[in-house]
Structure 1
């Protein structure tokens, strides 16, 4: 929190306090009203339970003045340092809620909105001129300035953790939670006291105290792969420039014991090619360290067996195995992986199952912004063109992937549909051939003969038949384009010349690869 304690201000406040500590300054004929606080010029007054703040009455000519505080908060007697941690030692007149001192120091012990009230009485009318002008009011005897300072007091943070396994909430206690290796435990942050806005989960090995996993999610799904006993710790925290910092910790008392899995050790996802041509396999358990293993795998590229240079667990996540090949592979290649089974093992002593000719999903890097060209930003990258005369919407009614798609409706009343990605430009390198892809869904009853994708501002058209597209399902359209000089800051435009209802999603641009 950006706080504000300038030494000069406190010297000034302390000086005021010392000047009035032992004697009362008699009112003069001159009257004026003013005050100062340790919050300085902050627009709102914010502190936390157990902290103190200072308030000084700078008024002149008051015939009477009082400070009052809410019950449960306390007046302190200085001098007090911000380094003092046991502030209760400075409490004076415990239980009093009214003071006639010119400067007060208030220890806030109650959370929530608290008030510090200053009442001054004058013989003459005065006004305080700040962001607003506040004038005194006549009570029949004196002119009264009644001011309440509202202070938002943040409570101390109390972290509250909850644990679920297999959808069942685990009762807190000393009972051990037995977890099969390769499964996840859900940890839920239920903290509210003290208004925390961040958290960190730690999973520690009980024997070694090593942190084996962590997460900042409010609902953290944490996998347990290695055998052993663990405990979970939640640290809830409060951070920000305009709020007081704070932390609270909750250790779930239940030990978490990981036991061998009863499930077969097998692939859980597609085998994928990474950008550097690594083939990555994902399993439902963590591999023990091993060396060699190349002879256990067979990789075929377009039916031909390729040499494997290495097989090893991915260092950051040993549930994944990485295969490196001696030869280059290309995007159009058909690549398959087979595994003979046996020999390798998981950390919970399982052996992986054999498999044959599993296809590899080849790497394809989209040069477009996936959010803008998948409409997941609600269509912020696209706009209807000035001469569009169709109904255009970014909708969650139907999507190929994600939540959003582009919906275009053209009927007899509309001259035509035109929408372009004006706010999501992209660039192409001259001389390179690119694949343009997008997904289209044509509703029943559509009679439009075609749809066109345009590259602007070149006005290069890519015509596509709509008549031959199946109705009621997503299909992918692919076309090629060889970039020319100056193909920077390009955008797409869709044109719908006939009647019907169309959905579009997942626009994709990638460089075309060809095996030499």
Structure 2
């Protein structure tokens, strides 16, 4: 469904006085009753440091004869067919016009039959905006949009795709959906999940750097008055279930489980949940609670520490008194996997170097002096997160490359992980990640030959770091042995090795 185009107007933002500039002529005598000065223009946007004058098609622009004197002998001149008079006339002291076409427009003020001032105004194309909206699942129940009242009705948990269509250089988007997920978006075409029950208003604006300013564009008119759209979120007719395929462990060892709706407040539900270690050992649960900012997320705290190698699963027996805000009971689930917190526990120099996203990464990663037949570069071809990764191209020799940034790594046991993508046809057999200063220890991970081609795989290996001096500064280097083809690496992490007692 497409709503009507909405034209909008900028009120007077500033007043500019344009002075006429002419070559000095001491013999010049001004026409009787006037002094050759500027005219004043309102509703024009000064867009850049060159003091260009810019407006848009459809904007009201007012011109005022600022000549000093008593003569009313004046004539305004505009390019023929390019304007429409809003008020005043071509011979009045003040005239307001609307430009009907884009391009550079020369405007003149003639006094006493002589040209007094001329200015060129750049008229941009008119700006307009429409949007459409539709449920992501076309068969979702309870969805409707009433164009007459501007009311969107959805069931809780419904995902809605909003698609914008704008003209005139509008490019900075700002959608606001209070209480929904997300509640704010700067995307041109966001997908919003409506969860919070009840009625609320939502709005949208889109702006442009030229003309500058925060221009709000409500998209609907009722009785010729612009207003925001209304959304009504009703109870869902779907089951109340876990919304993800994996729970998530946070850095503070909290386990989070998102659902497809909001929970009502609750207490004393710990006995209905279980957390298993390695599929066989139950772990004690200290608390089950709601996330303080998002009522769709359950949080579980254990009564004992979680270790990185742990394999955890969560189950719910379905017999608790939990309810959604629309009075649905959550469906029981068994052995939901927990994705363990896996952020580098050792500061990896500048973070943008090891995720390959920052401006420092290209200079940090280089081939070593003993490299044979290989090249490395930061690439936007593919990535597991962000937009960049490290691209390695080999031509049959041993590709050796290094990160020139030192990292501060105390001696100890570590796990080094990274994401690896070997393009189809890549013949590499071994990969050797190395760390040290100098290279006191090396280890190889010979699985490169067995790694599937054409997909991202997380590679990890252990490292016992021992220094021969008091320094704790080290570098990371990599060797790809005996192969050809293209390889990508992303998201290096160095994790302190943890062992459950």
Could you state the TM-score of these two structures normalised by the residue count of structure 1? 0.68
Which whole-Å deviations, capped at 9, do the CAs of 1:336-389 have from their partners, x for residues lacking one? 322121321112222112233433222121244776434467973654336443
The aligned runs of 1:110-509 (5 Å cut-off) are: 110=100, 112-118=102-108, 149-152=120-123, 155=126, 159-166=129-136, 173-174=147-148, 179-192=154-167, 195=170, 197-202=172-177, 213-228=183-198, 230=199, 233-238=202-207, 240=209, 243-251=212-220, 256-301=232-277, 303-342=280-319, 343-366=321-344, 367-368=347-348, 372-375=353-356, 380=362, 383-385=365-367, 387=369, 388=371, 389-392=373-376, 405-412=389-396, 416-422=398-404, 425=405, 427-431=407-411, 433-441=413-421, 450-455=430-435, 458-460=438-440, 462-466=442-446, 469-473=449-453, 474=457, 476-482=459-465, 485-488=470-473, 491-501=475-485, 503-506=487-490, 507-509=492-494
8 A contact 1:442–1:469 mirrored in 2: no
Q: 1:396 to 1:199 in 2, by over 3 A?
A: closer
Give RMSD over aligned pairs.
4.8
> What is the aligned partner in structure 2 of residue 69 from structure 1?
78
Which whole-Å deviations, capped at 9, do the CAs of 1:229-280 have from their partners, x for residues lacking one? x465333242648625422212476764524222352352311211111111
Q: 1:234 to 1:330 in 2, by over 3 A?
A: same
> SS of the counterpart of 1:188?
strand
Larger radius of gyration: 1
Q: 1:56 to 1:429 in 2, by over 3 A?
A: farther
Structure 2 gaps of 5+ residues are 1-9, 22-29, 221-227
Q: Aligned equivalents of 2:208 and 2:117: distance in 1?
A: 34
Which whole-Å deviations, capped at 9, do the CAs of 1:203-243 have from their partners, x for residues lacking one? 589xxxxx994433322222222444x46533324264862
> What is the aligned partner in structure 2 of residue 31 from structure 1?
none
> SS of the counterpart of 2:295?
strand
8 A contact 1:180–1:258 mirrored in 2: yes
The aligned runs of 1:46-61 (5 Å cut-off) are: 46-47=54-55, 49-52=59-62
Say whether residues 1:45 and 2:43 are aligned partners: no
> SS of the counterpart of 1:513?
coil
> What is the aligned partner in structure 2 of residue 124 from structure 1?
none
Q: Number of matched residues?
A: 443
Q: Aligned equivalents of 2:383 and 2:31: distance in 1?
A: 73
> What is the aligned partner in structure 2 of residue 137 from structure 1?
none
Q: Aligned equivalents of 2:135 and 2:498: distance in 1?
A: 46
Q: Aligned equivalents of 1:456 and 1:4: distance in 2?
A: 63
8 A contact 1:178–1:256 mirrored in 2: yes
> SS of the counterpart of 1:190?
strand
Tell me the CA shift for residue 457 of structure 1. Answer: 5.9
Q: 1:185 to 1:293 in 2, by over 3 A?
A: same
Q: Quick check: 237-246 or 394-403, which moved more?
A: 394-403
> SS of the counterpart of 1:380?
helix
> What is the aligned partner in structure 2 of residue 511 from structure 1?
496
Tell me the CA shift for residue 482 of structure 1. Answer: 3.4
Q: Aligned equivalents of 2:472 and 2:252: distance in 1?
A: 27
